[in-house]
Structures are given as C-alpha cells and as structure tokens.
Amino acid sequence: MQENRVSRWYFGGVSSSAAACVTHPLDLIKVHLQTQQEVRMRMIGMTLNVVRREGFLALYSGLTASLCRQMTYSLSRFAIYETVRDKMKRKNKGPMPFHQKVLLGAFGGFTGGFIGTPTDLVNVRMQNDVKMAAEFRRKEQILTKDFFPSEMCFLEGLRKLFSGASMASSRGALVSVGQLACYDQSKELVLATGYLTDNILTHFLASVFAGGSATILCQPLDVVKTRLMNSEVQYGSVSHCLTETAKLGPNAFYKGLVPADCLIPHTVLTFIFLEQLKQHFGEMVVT
C-alpha cells in the first residue's frame, strides 16, 4: 500500500483561472476575429487596432467575466471528470479505458458548458465591446451596482442569459474530450514508455497534445457559439446562425484559428498549474 495525492474538486477551476490571466489577450482577439462579418483584419492587424484605439489594457477587457466563466464552466467539468475518474481508478485498481474517459469528459464538459453559459455570454460581449463606438457599448464592468447579467435579463429576457447554451454545452463536451480525456491518455502513454517520469516535462508534452486535440475538435462550434452570444436579434436560432455563417464560406468556421490556438497555451498552463497544486496540496489517498 502506498499514499498518493489526488486533485481536489476545485483545483481545475483555480488552475484554469490562473491560465486565463495569461492567455486572455489571445482569447479577446479570437472573439474579435470570429465576430467580423467580413474578413477585414488578421490577428496582428486586429491586435494593433485594439491597442491603438483603446490602449494596451484593452487586451484585458472582460477579464473579470473570463475568471467568472472559468470558476463556473471549468470548475464544474473538472470537478465532475476528476472526481468520478479517481473513484473509478481506486475501484478498478487501475486507469479507466480511453472510451470511458471520452464519455466522462463529454458528460462533464456538456454539464459545465451549460452551467457556465451566462458568464460565457458576458465574457464574449465584454470582449467585443472595445471595437464598438462608445455610445453603443454595453456595460464594461461585470462587478458594478448594475450586475450585467441581471440587466440583460431585464432588457432581453431570462432566456437570453442562456443564448447559445446548446452550442456552449456541445463545445464544452468536445473541449473536455480533447483536454481531459486526451491529456490523461497521452500522459499514461508517455509514462508507459519508461523514458520519462511524472514530472513537468511529461505534463507539458501531454498537455500540448491535449490542447491541439481540443482546438481541432471545437473550432467550428466555437465560431457559431461566439456569434450567437454576441448577437441580440441577428440570429433566430442555432440553425439560422449556421446557415448565415456558411454563406460566408467554409473558412468562416475557422475564423480566428491562429489565436484560437490559445487553447494550447491555456491547456498547457492549466495542467501544469493543476499538477503542481495536486503534488503540493492534493488530498492524500491510500492505494
């Protein structure tokens, strides 16, 4: 019998929040690129335009909403996935098969995506605010006396808080399969070679593969989700949004693909932070 440390249920949310503080500018530029009706600017041009118009700190517009999103969406999916995975691992005295990890990751991601939809919607709108004229901007701070979701609920209805919930949940499922299931599986494969131990290099290699998998899986849904959440009346349904986006050509579903690779650095940082939290502050269990 030996003692091992396992992640606590809230470590995923904390790690994702810490990673978001670093990668938020990339996420903001991605939102701007995805909400263009026509391809007018590329990544560098959009970044320079934002900085020139609003200053460097504008790249962190909506950071508070992003952190709220991570502490709802990411915390939920990590908590579901890791809690069930660790219990199954102890019960079966070994790792779960890959197909079970995929199913568990999809369920956790779908649930987390739905729970985090309101904060995700606020995050998208706040990030998109900086390219609108001042008189047309929405609330620029989430934590004010007029809490943005409550104001939006009053003006646009309760259902608007969950605008794009189906897409956000579906995207959450795909991201979690790419990140959580693929990270665990790739980490096990790397360790099985015997060349590396459970150290930061192993965590880095596994998380790069997981981030790349998540990016490939979710990019088309990410574009549609962003458009739905940023729209007040433009799209009547998911199918309408899909149709209108498709009219712009196949490449429209991959707008912002380069900055969307912020999923890779975000995934890498998230799992490195998570593994460090687990090693130093994780719960001790006997196996």
Q: What is the mean pLDDT of residues 261-282?
A: 91
Model pLDDT, residue 141? 43
Query: Cα(2)–Cα(44) distance, rounded to whole angstroms?
Result: 51
Domain locations along the chain: 3-286
CB 34 within 8 A of CB 223: yes
Query: Cα(100)–Cα(221) distance, rounded to whole angstroms?
Result: 23
User: pTM for this structure?
Assistant: 0.80
CB 266 within 8 A of CB 19: yes
Question: Could you tell me what percent of the chain has a pLDDT over 70?
Answer: 75
How many other CB atoms are found less than 10 A from the CB of residue 6?
Answer: 18
Model pLDDT, residue 145? 37
pLDDT confidence band for 255 (50 / 70 / 90): low
Q: Which of 196, 198, 236 is nearest to 4 (CA)?
A: 198
Q: What is the mean pLDDT of residues 200-219?
A: 92
Domain 3-286 has CATH 1.50.40.10: yes
- The 10s digit of each residue's pLDDT in 21-45 is 999 888 888 777 766 656 566 777 7
Query: Cα(156)–Cα(159) distance, rounded to whole angstroms?
Result: 8
pLDDT confidence band for 140 (50 / 70 / 90): very low
**How many angstroms separate the Cα of 238 from the Cα of each of 146, 160, 218, 225, 229?**
29, 13, 16, 9, 11
Q: What is the mean pLDDT of residues 146-154?
A: 49
* Residue with more model confidence, 213 or 248: 213
* Residue with more model confidence, 108 or 259: 108
Residue appearing with tokens 């890498």:
268
* Residue with more model confidence, 30 or 154: 30
